[in-house]
């Protein structure tokens, strides 16, 4: 950020009085330009045990698969965002939305809220941001061709929880070099995993661009 969006003057970086961190500040009009994380909202659209994936028609990760997800707009509820993204990317209509996973991705200043949802019908088709859309059962998931780490983690947890039928809301951190579990319950699970694997970091590290 170089120039003030209020008056066009050059900005400086300074810690405003009473604040505890540097901000972009305009000395001409005394405006502090705060920068805060952006939220992405997505959903896992389910239909009779299969889930809907979209193959991306746009960069980044053109040609790779994702669940419908996108940036929350100003004035938009998270539920409405999930429904809008499903329609824009897959012409799919959702019902029974249930909040499922929240990911902190602090190194890129983003957070992802993932819902579970059911398709109201099978009248889906590729939207302008998708090359194709299709239903997949667990064995068909293109694990090596998923677009983002957060998508892989979402689907991994979804299929793990589906075994028990308990889809409890959880919060996770995704780190530049891998992921970390945020909740006490999942930390215990993580420690169990560490005990099972001789090289836990090698086996669990995931890259996040």
Residues that bind Zn ion (CB under 5 A): 4, 6-7, 9, 26, 28-29, 31
Q: Which is nearer to Zn ion, 31 or 204 (CB)?
A: 31
Please name the residues in contact with 3: beta carbons below 8 A apart, sequence gap of 6 or more: 9, 10, 11
Q: What is the bridge-based pairing of β-strands 130-136 and 50-56?
A: antiparallel
Grouping H, G, I as helix, E, B as strand and the rest as coil, residue 74 is coil
Q: How far is the CB of 32 from Zn ion (least distance, A)?
A: 10
Q: Which is nearer to Zn ion, 30 or 185 (CB)?
A: 30
Task: Give dist(CA 139, CA 143) in Å, integer.
Answer: 10
Q: Which is nearer to Zn ion, 10 or 205 (CB)?
A: 10
Find, among 44, 43, 61, 41, the residue nearest to 147 by Cα.
Answer: 61
Task: Give dist(CA 167, CA 101) in Å, integer.
Answer: 9
Task: Give dist(CA 102, CA 99) in Å, integer.
Answer: 8
Q: What is the bridge-based pairing of β-strands 110-119 and 38-47?
A: parallel
Q: How far is the CB of 6 from Zn ion (least distance, A)?
A: 4
Q: Which is nearer to Zn ion, 9 or 14 (CB)?
A: 9
Output Rg (C-alpha) for the chain, integer angstroms.
20
Q: Which is nearer to Zn ion, 7 or 58 (CB)?
A: 7
């Amino acid at each position: 950020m170089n120039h003030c969006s209020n008056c066009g003057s050059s900005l400086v970086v300074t810690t405003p009085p009473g604040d505890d961190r540097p901000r972009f500040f305009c000395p001409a009009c005394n405006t502090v330009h705060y920068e805060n994380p952006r939220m992405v909202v997505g959903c896992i659209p389910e239909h009779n045990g299969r889930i809907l994936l979209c193959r991306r028609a746009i960069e980044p990760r053109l040609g790779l698969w994702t669940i419908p997800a996108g940036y929350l707009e100003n004035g938009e509820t998270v539920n409405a965002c999930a429904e809008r993204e499903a329609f824009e990317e897959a012409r799919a209509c959702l019902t029974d939305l249930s909040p499922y996973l929240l990911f902190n991705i602090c190194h890129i200043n983003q957070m992802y809220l993932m819902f579970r949802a059911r398709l109201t019908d099978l009248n889906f088709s590729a939207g302008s941001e998708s090359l194709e859309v299709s239903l997949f059962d667990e064995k068909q998931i293109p694990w090596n061709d998923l677009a983002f780490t957060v998508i892989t983690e979402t689907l991994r947890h979804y299929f793990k929880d589906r075994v028990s039928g308990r889809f409890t809301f959880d919060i996770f951190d995704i780190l530049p070099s891998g992921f970390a579990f945020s909740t006490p319950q999942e930390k215990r699970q993580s420690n169990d995993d560490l005990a099972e694997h001789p090289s836990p970091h090698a086996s669990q590290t995931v890259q996040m661009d």
